[in-house]
Structures are given as structure tokens and as C-alpha cells.
A and B are shown apart, each in its own frame.
Chain A
């Protein structure tokens, strides 16, 4: 049996298979359709810079809405309660709005094709090389991790063979990205966003009906877990030991809300690339604002199912089901892991047809995650590594061909990574940790580059290097001596989740301090070279808004007001 292996949670009916097949057929069609419009490098790598604000905005938020993320945070909501929603609200919204209103004009008018490309313009070749190589390596490894995760999920839910899932998923993604480039990836991301809502929204709707509404749900959770801490976002954050996550509000506000969130949403090229495809400056500013509005709604389909599971999931004998950590669930057929909460809720409410839609949404999320990684990889490889250091004078068509080839080769490396992870599971944790090493310091470098004229080339390079090295150093310190966590998080009660928040905060601080000190003792960049790159030397062109309804700043104010109201409601 090539297709099926092992035990499974459920099986697909013919109508579910039909829904899945329809999705694959459309995705491949889109790849061939977009191929005819991917002739120049601008077309292939930046979708011709002709996307509207809505398309760029949905693609921007969708690139981050992979299934690994959906299932992981639904599991976290079960494990830690509503605190998990911080990663969607304070951990995203302010940063997305900051990108749109403050940073996007610089990315957009500098006409850069990538974040390493901006570093090249602002800080020279050293910072670009460091950022491009680390980003290319990480995206391709992350794509492999994503691929493996998809295969495991399909094996767990449907009993599909891991090799079958890896090759079908990777083959389809490689085909449509290679053919249509970023345009193809963006069309599929928008499609995936709609599909995820279509496939997942029934879970919270039916769950809330079963639980009897939000108030009764909160009461039931308090009875089942013996605490009301699981449904409050801020009141339990006064001390590390007073909440299920073991974090403090300073870590959430400064570590997550400032450094990690701003680092990810404003400097990770995977998401920024989507906004760079916008067709004008106003669209580029509006896209992250639109993305933020939709991002605020995502906890409804991710966090609410996790909370519902705490109240309604039952064993066959009617007793409350208790999910456990994946290492405990492994090898115990009667137990389910936290990460299985979304599939378990899907199976609880969705019969034939709806189940197929939910599974298709998960598959689409995984494929979209892979496509995001591989399209960003091929851009950075072609522009910032191959075009910058290996072959500087090739023709435009040569770079497009290189983009297509690097997509295929990148996907093959990802497949190898997936098999590597399959044989040594701990690699998965390291790869995910590696990604966080680069993001926080990169935000320090980019924000100083945009806001401070005095930041020099040497300052940018050494600051980025010092921040990254310190992040790796702290990670290794905690790996070899777990008691080191108390120093990094500044509390003996801190739990592992706090390490990520404080490690990011410290590495950002180190990056900023080193950049400032080195800049002050090295030669400043001539003012003429900073035009279009730095605040204060760059006249920001008018974005063409003629009424208040067209102004991105107005909509950003609306979104941030709703953000504060939501935090107060769930305080």
C-alpha cells in the first residue's frame, strides 16, 4: 500500500476527494495561466508590481497563515488559553500598521526588489551578503520543515503515506511557482485565504452553538480546568507564575509586541515581498493596513477552536478528553496531542463535504507556506546572491531562467530537509529556532538604517553580526544549561516560551547598541547617497489620496482602535 500507512483519525468520502481534486486542478491551471505573464524579472519576482491593495494585503496576511501556524496556535490555545491570541493581536497588528504607514514608503520608493536589496542600498555589500545568505538558507530549510509537517498531519488524520504527501505537495508547488513566479504564488495565497475561512469557520460557529455562547463557554472552561485564567488576556500577566504560559507582560509587550513582531512583519522578506508587488505607493501603504484588519479576525478560526476543545471535547465514554504533549501522545494510540486539536474539532462537527473542505484548507495552507518560502528564496538567491556576487552582468531573461531553476532546486533541497527531519526530529526545533536568530537583529539594522542618518556601513554590518551572534550564543547557553533561562528572562519562574521573547529583545538591544557605537566611530555615509532611503533626507511623495476614505492613516487609526477595544473586551 503506497498511499496509506498506519492508523488514522478519519477517512475521506468520495465527495471529500472531489473537493480536494478540484483545488489541485485549479492550482495547476493558475500556474499555467500565470506563466504567460511572467516574462521579465519584474514580472517573475515582483508580479509586475501591478497588484491592488486588496490583493497585496490578503496575500501579505495569507503568506503567514500556513497550516503549521493554524494547527500550532490552536494547540497553544488549548494549552495556554486565550493568551495565545497575543501572537495575533499585539504580536502583529501594531507592526503591520507601522510597516504600512512608516516603513513602506522607503521600501517602495527605493525601488528595491528585496529586504537584502534595501540593506545593500543603505549599508553596502557586507550587510546584504550576511542577510541574503542567512535568509536563503533559512527559507529553504523552513520550506522542508513545512513539507514534513504537512506529511505528518496527513498521515495522522488520513493515514496517507509520508513520501506520497511530500512529493505530491512539493511537486505541485514547484510546478506553479516555477511557471508563474510571484504572481502565481500571490493568486494562490489569496485563494488559500478564502479557502481557509470557508473550511475552518464552521468549527467556531458550531462550537459556540454547542457550548451555548461565549459566557457559558468561559464558565465550562473554568470548571474543566479549575481556573478562570484561560480566558483572560492581560489580568494574569503580572507575574511569570500566575499564568499558564509562564510569561510576564514585559515579555509580551516588548519582546513579542515590539521586537519579534516588528522584526517579522517589517523585515522578513517572505511577507514584505507581497507588499512590494503593489501597483502604487498608496496601495503599498494600504496593503498592510488591510492585512492587519483581517489578521485581527484570525483568532476566531484558530484560538476559539482551541478554547472550545477545552470545554466540549469528550472521550467515547463521555468523560472530558485531555490532550497531551506530542512526545507523550507518540506511541499511545488512545492519546491525542495538542496540535491535533483543530483536526479533532473538524471531525467533531464536519461530515462528508465539509470535512473535505476543511482538509483542503489545511493542504492549501501548507502548500501556500511552501510557495511563500520558495518564491522568496528564488528572488533573494537570484538578485542578492547570484546576481550580486556570481554573475553580475547577465541578461534579464537569464535571471528569469535562474529564478525558475532556483525554484526547482530550492524545492529539491527542501525535500532533502524534510527527509532529514523525518530521521532526526530534533532538527525541526533547531531550524525553527534558527529562523528567530536573524529576525530580531535584522529589525534593529533596518529601523536604524531608515530612521538614523548617522548609521554607517560598518555600523550596519557589525550590528547585524553582533545581534545574530548573541542570539545564537543565548540559544546555545540555554541548550547546554537550562538554568541560564533565569538570567535571560530575569526570573527563576520563567518557562521556555519566555526564552524566545527575551532572547529576541536582548539580541535587538545588542544589535542597536553595536550599530550606534560603531557608526559613531566610523565614517558617515554621504548625505547624497541616503536620498530615498532614510527619514529626514527623503521627500515622501504624495500617495494620491484625495479624500479621508482613501488615506491609509485613517484606516490605520480605525484598525488600531478596534485592536484596543478587543484587548479591553478580553482583558
Chain B
């Protein structure tokens, strides 16, 4: 998007994924000793998916943060 001072669409994507990643990591940590009654819960999918989303979201949040130019 052309104008200056504009918030990039990628920043919106990044910040949402980062927030979700943090929430999932926190949830995943609490599930280590109390896994939910789902199939393959022993693989800790919530924790690992949270880590992945945090990395993805963190990268986009920093890379496209407002004012970076």
C-alpha cells in the first residue's frame, strides 16, 4: 500500500498470529502434565503449533511494524 504512515496488512497478520502463538504456548505448557482427551495429545500439538505461530507472527510483526518505513 502506497501511502506513508500506513499500517501494513502483513503487520495485522503478524500481530494476530503472534498473539495466538503466545496463547497457544501458554495453553500447551499447562497441558504437558494434563493432556486434553484428544487423539495424539501426547505429541503436544498445541505447544508446538503455538511455537510455530509465535515465530511466524513475531517475524511479520517486526518486519512490517508501523513506522519502519
Contacts and interface: CB of A to CB of B under 8 A. Distances in A.
Q: A and B bound?
A: yes
Interface of A: 15, 18-19, 22-23, 26, 30, 33, 37, 48, 50-52, 55, 186-187, 190-191, 194-195, 198, 202, 206, 209-210, 279, 312, 347-354, 357
Given A279-B2, A350-B38, A352-B36, 16 more contacts: A22-B20, A26-B12, A50-B2, A190-B12, A191-B13, A194-B13, A194-B17, A198-B17, A206-B39, A210-B39, A348-B39, A349-B39, A349-B45, A353-B27, A354-B45, A354-B46
B32 interface: no
Given A187-B12, A191-B12, A19 B23 contact: yes
Overall SS of chain A's interface: helix
Contacts of A55: 1, 9
Contact of B16 (A195, A209, A348): A195
A18 B53 CA distance: 16
Contacts of B27: 15, 352-353
Contacts of B6: 37
Given A51-B1, A354-B45, A348 B38 contact: yes
Interface residues of B, number: 31
A50 B49 CA distance: 34
Closest 6 CB pairs of A and B: A351-B36, A353-B27, A50-B2, A351-B38, A194-B13, A353-B24
A206 B16 contact: no
B45 A206 contact: yes
B41 interface: yes
Q: Which of A186, A191, A209, A352 has the most CB of B within 10 A?
A: A352
B65 to A, nearest CB: 15
A22 B19 contact: yes
Contact of A23 (B7, B16, B36): B16
B3 to A, nearest CB: 8
7 contacts: A19-B20, A22-B19, A26-B15, A48-B2, A312-B39, A351-B38, A353-B28
Contacts of A209: 40, 43
Contacts of B31: 351-352
B13 A349 contact: no
Nearest to A350: B38
A106 to B, nearest CB: 24
Contact of A353 (B1, B15, B17, B23): B23
Contact of B38 (A30, A51, A194, A349): A349
A352 B43 CA distance: 15
Contacts of B50: 353
A522 B50 CA distance: 65
